[in-house]
Amino acid sequence: GNYDICVVFVERGLELTSNSGQLAYILSHKFFNAKYGEPIRELLSGGGHLRHVVHFGDQQVFPGATNYVCLLFLAKAGVKECLWCQVDDLDTWLSSFSGKKRAVSQERFTRSEWNVVVGRQTRLFEKLSKIPLHLEQVASRIFQGLKTGADKAYILQSICADRDRCRIYSPLSDSELELETDLLHPLIKGGDGKRFSIANTRRLILFPYRKELAGSVSLISPPIMQKEYPLTWAYLEANRAYLEAREHGKMKHKEWYGYTRVQALDVVSMPKLFTPDISPIASFSFDETGEFFFTGGVSGGYGILLDPPFVPEFVLGLLNSRLLDFFLHSIGTQMRGGWYSYEARFIRRLPVRKLDPSDKSEAALHSELVKLVKRILKAKEVDQSADTENLEREIDERVYRLYGLTKDEIKVVEEGRG
């Protein structure tokens, strides 16, 4: 897979350093959480080499370039503790080297992702981290959106439509034309996913696939395309050379009009929870009918299919709560401008409180939370700009009770969110 070349320098640096030597780098901190960082995290933690980290978060150390860096100090011989410093104010740190600091045992670091919280938030973060049930365990699938390999050809703008045909604008041909409606679906980008609602969009995606009886999805054959969707087939044929050129010519085969990636083809049309890939705050929504398709990658998002008996409205309330967003902001990648990553690798670790239906107080909390979320969804369905702040605050209060937070812990969450 892809990886940041900095990890190679760290590995080689350790090889070249004497047993009593010290090593220091300024480098990207993304390897702390990225999949590609697993081997280097295992190397550093296995030898106890991590001596001191200065984590700059989203502070921009190098003017004129977007960068997310840390100072990494390593000891070849190994040490028992790592001094972890979190810098929230670059100017203050540059003048005094002061920041929130915490000594962390080497045992805390493993091949798994490195998430260290310092300051008043530490105790609450550790408390939430011990909850055994995570989102990935209550979801049958957390998936990234579609990847066509040619968005200019497949992503279109709706002009007007009737039952059978839709007039669209194609950015690839820079023209208007008519296509059959059956293969066109509403498409949302990450920014269209709002808290408890999905923004209206005139964006469409051409999806030349159909579901089989067994639930799998297959590319519609050329004879069927020609017979049932002649307008769409003519559009694809007119752009055949462009579509075949994808993947450096690898799409020059009988399925040249299909997507370059088959991910999510079978689940994108299912009822699902949806989140943008990046957002300043939790912006989970519920696509109850499965009508909205979405893309992966930049400006894309992730879908979440839940396992029974978990009710979508209940989980949606948890995911949009201040408490779980506090946890996400503690483990997720922070970007400049106060934006955070809501990628699958982060949201899968969100702690989910499992309720005992035989416990009357827990059953009542579940029912109350679901009712509040349904009221918000109904209000947003009528008017996406509807003010639901009071209802959302009620949800927050019930989630605090559900997770057993003290007044001091609630204060930590509230002050962190602002």
| b/e per residue 191-215 (b: at least 16 CB within 10 A) | ebbbbbbbeeeebbbbbbbeeeeee
Q: Which residues contact 274 (CB under 8 A, 6 or more apart)?
A: 188, 193, 198, 284, 285, 286, 287, 292, 294, 301, 302, 303, 304
Q: What is the pLDDT of residue 66?
A: 86
Q: pLDDT tens across 185-210, in order? A: 999 999 999 999 999 889 999 999 99
Q: Omega of the bond prior to 271 within 30 degrees of 0, cis? A: no
Task: Report the 10 Å Cβ neighbour count for 9.
Answer: 12
State yes or no: pLDDT of 418 exceeds 80. no
The residue whose two tokens read 């300024």 is 26
Do 217 and 266 touch, CB atoms closer than 8 A?
yes
Do 187 and 294 touch, CB atoms closer than 8 A?
yes
Do 148 and 154 touch, CB atoms closer than 8 A?
yes
State yes or no: pLDDT of 82 exceeds 70. yes
Q: What is the pLDDT of residue 297?
A: 83
Q: pLDDT tens across 68-81, in order? A: 999 999 999 999 99
Instruction: Kindly state the DSSP code that residue 32 receives in the 8-state scheme.
Output: G
Task: Report the 10 Å Cβ neighbour count for 64.
Answer: 6
| b/e per residue 350-384 (b: at least 16 CB within 10 A) | bbbbebeeeeeeeeebbebbbebbeebbebbeeee
Look at residues 364, 363, 365, 386 and name the one whose alpha carbon lies nearest to residue 375.
386
The SS3 assignment for 271 reads coil
Cross-strand pairs, 188: 294
Q: What is the pLDDT of residue 417?
A: 61
Q: pLDDT tens across 124-176, in order? A: 999 999 999 999 999 999 999 999 999 999 999 999 988 899 999 999 999 99
- The side-by-side arrangement of strands in the sheet containing 301-306 is 139-144, 301-306, 272-276, 285-287
Tell me the pTM. 0.88
Do 289 and 198 touch, CB atoms closer than 8 A?
no
The residue whose two tokens read 């089989």 is 212
